[in-house]
Chains A and B, each alone.
Chain A
Amino acid sequence: MSAPRSRVALVSFVVATIAVLAVFPKFAEPYYVTLVLPAFAYAIALLGFNLLFGTAGLLSFGHALFVAIGAYAAAVLTSKLGVRSFEAIVAIAGIVSVIAAIPVAMLAVRYVRIFFGILTLAFGMLFHSFLFKFYNLTGGDTGIRVLRPTLLGQDWKELDKTAFLIGPFYYACLVLALVLGLAMWRIVHSPFGLHLAAIRENSRKAEYLGVRVRTFRLIAFLISAFYGAIGGAILAVNTGQADPELAYWTHSGELVFMTVLGGFANFFGPLVGAFAFIFLKSELMGATQYWRFFLGATLAVIVIAFPRGLMGLASDAWKKATRR
């Protein structure tokens, strides 16, 4: 039940952002356009991650597991099974990830806080070593190549790799991000989303109000696995490779980083965090070999000074500006 004025502002902000993203490839240098692709991928993955973290209050430290499943699904489908349709890849990656997530979720949702985090971390590490050791199946440390997919049946043979990625594939990802973003908006603002928030705030009280705490945590977990895999499929198509590093625990850490950077308490926080992280990392890597140091320092400053992240800063600024 938000005030109408802030709603108008929100819709205008979203429409403006979509418009900028839609014309971005026409004006920006190709290098920056290629940076937007992983940002789309992470934005989608984090929409799911933050349903679990921001809405339901469960912090997963192993969420890269599902990103990796999506990437390997894209690799196996294109390289080994001859499935080239991007739409089919996205759907299958999501479904495979949900199936893989069922046993993980059934165990993990019995725990909360640090125990949930550690358990998800453990599953992520298990999957990483599986990818690493089962050479015949997974290609070991070199991984599996991801071949160029078709989009709505079109193979875009006339375009070279970069032109394909920053052209048709960019728009496919934009549309996908919009559809999945809208779906997540509905989920977060649905009766189900309200019950997830109740679970986050006080699971005991929620139970006595008839909220099925474990079942709902499980459903949220499966939805987040679905989103994670779709993000992973986009990442893999973008790099042309699925490798075990995608499942490594530092990658899970990056997902947490992006979410905190953008602000987990805000629906758009993780999306802003994904874009900010990708561009920040790229700029820092270009500027100094000590980029990890500066990235770490940034995170420390955010946590200490701006615990609500970039969106927290933005909403404070907005409130200040509209009060007058």
Chain B
Amino acid sequence: MSALIETVGVTKAYGDFVALDGVTLSVADGETVAIVGPNGAGKTTLVNVLTGLLKPNEGVVRFKGEDIAGIGPVKLAQRGMARAFQLVHIFPALTVAETIAVAVVSQAGRSLSLFGSLRRDAALWTKVRDVAAIFGLDTKLDAEARLLSQGEKKLLDIASAFALVPEVILLDEPTSGVSSGDKHGIMKTLVDAARRAGVKAIILVEHDMDLVAEYSTRIVALQGGKVLADRVPGEFFSDPELIASVIGKRVDKFAAREGAR
């Protein structure tokens, strides 16, 4: 399997503080890679490097074999990587349909069509409805985003990222701010949607180890800016020391959960 995304020896420092220290990892077609680690481990910096927002001081970051260091969000979207943020990002006054249409228009490369009619573009609205349906938002197409529930806003945020038809999607704590009862539901929707949309790989930053255990195919643990471990879930969760250092304290609930199955 060839790597879709890879970093080789990526180092990023802010003054004296080294946020990432020689990080090497790769994500291949078909994988769902979870990035875990305690606060300050460098997760956010790594995500920003992977999405071309930050340029590393040393090392390379490649997407589909091309250097993407510091290319910025617009080119990233054009090349086929989408990102959803930890905090919900919506267009408050735009409707659900319009929000998704923003992405469909960019993906089609039609954003400079100054005099084209949006309303009469049937193909556009068909795509918009298809994406909305995957996320269960097809009954709310004409609702303004600001009037949706928190969970629906989250889904809309991610739906618009999916509408870019990305090859890789980076989900930064997709279930943060969602009640724990809804977390599995949202994760399941996302993973199913990714499969239906033809997304090749998912990078997931997540604190909730239940979700990591259930949905990832590989886990990359960061600590102090270095890769502490890069393992499949089975190996990862059978190492209590590793789990303890990743979540900052020793918890036996994983063992209990596994036992309960």
Q: Which chain A residues have a beta carbon within 8 Å of chain B's beta carbons?
A: 1, 183, 186-187, 189-195, 197-198, 201-202, 204-213, 216
Complex interface: chain B residues within 8 A of A198 (CB): 91, 94, 99, 102
CA distance in complex: A192, B121 (Å): 14
Cβ–Cβ contact A202 & B89, under 8 A: yes
Task: Tell whether A212 pairs with B91 under 8 Å between CB atoms, given A187-B115, A189-B117, A194-B105.
Answer: no
- Chain B residues touching A, range: 35 or more
CA distance in complex: A193, B161 (Å): 20
10 contacts between A and B (CB under 8 A): A1-B125, A1-B142, A190-B116, A191-B110, A192-B114, A194-B105, A197-B94, A205-B90, A207-B77, A209-B102
CA distance in complex: A205, B88 (Å): 10
Cβ–Cβ contact B142 & A205, under 8 A: no
Cβ–Cβ contact A207 & B73, under 8 A: yes
Whether B212 is near chain A, meaning CB under 8 Å from some CB there, is no
CA distance in complex: A66, B188 (Å): 54
Cβ–Cβ contact A1 & B97, under 8 A: yes
CA distance in complex: A189, B121 (Å): 11
Closest to A202 in B: B91
Cβ–Cβ contact B115 & A209, under 8 A: no
4 closest Cβ pairs, A-B complex: A210-B106, A210-B77, A201-B91, A205-B89
- How close is A102's CB to chain B, nearest CB, in angstroms? 18
Complex interface: chain B residues within 8 A of A205 (CB): 85, 89-91, 157, 160
Contact with A208, one of B82, B101, B107, B115 (Cβ below 8 angstroms): B82
Cβ–Cβ contact A206 & B102, under 8 A: yes
Whether B103 is near chain A, meaning CB under 8 Å from some CB there, is yes
- How close is B157's CB to chain A, nearest CB, in angstroms? 8
Contact with B105, one of A195, A201, A202, A212 (Cβ below 8 angstroms): A195
Task: Tell whether A208 pairs with B83 under 8 Å between CB atoms, given A191-B105, A197-B91, A201-B91.
Answer: yes
Cβ–Cβ contact A208 & B94, under 8 A: no
Complex interface: chain B residues within 8 A of A211 (CB): 74, 102, 106, 111
Complex interface: chain A residues within 8 A of B92 (CB): 201-202
Complex interface: chain A residues within 8 A of B89 (CB): 202, 204-205, 208
Contact with A192, one of B82, B85, B112, B164 (Cβ below 8 angstroms): B112
Residue in B77, B93, B112, B117 whose Cβ sees the most chain A Cβ within 10 Å: B112
CA distance in complex: A130, B91 (Å): 41
CA distance in complex: A205, B82 (Å): 11
CA distance in complex: A201, B97 (Å): 15
Complex interface: chain B residues within 8 A of A210 (CB): 73-74, 77-78, 103, 106-107, 111, 164
Complex interface: chain B residues within 8 A of A197 (CB): 91, 93-94, 98
Known contacts A1-B141, A191-B113, A208-B89; 12 additional CB pairs below 8 A are A187-B114, A189-B119, A194-B98, A197-B94, A198-B91, A201-B90, A201-B94, A209-B161, A209-B163, A210-B164, A211-B106, A212-B111
Complex interface: chain B residues within 8 A of A193 (CB): 118
- How close is A47's CB to chain B, nearest CB, in angstroms? 14
Cβ–Cβ contact B106 & A190, under 8 A: no
Whether B72 is near chain A, meaning CB under 8 Å from some CB there, is yes
Complex interface: chain B residues within 8 A of A212 (CB): 74, 111
CA distance in complex: A212, B160 (Å): 16
- How close is A225's CB to chain B, nearest CB, in angstroms? 15
Complex interface: chain B residues within 8 A of A183 (CB): 115
Task: Tell me which residues from 160 to 191 in chain B have a Cβ below 8 Å from any Cβ of chain A.
Answer: 160-161, 163-164
- How close is B167's CB to chain A, nearest CB, in angstroms? 14
- How close is B144's CB to chain A, nearest CB, in angstroms? 10
CA distance in complex: A193, B77 (Å): 19
Closest to B142 in A: A1
CA distance in complex: A216, B107 (Å): 16
CA distance in complex: A208, B125 (Å): 21
Q: Interface readout for B42-82 with A: 1 if CB under 8 Å, 0 if not?
A: 00000000000000000000000000000011101110001
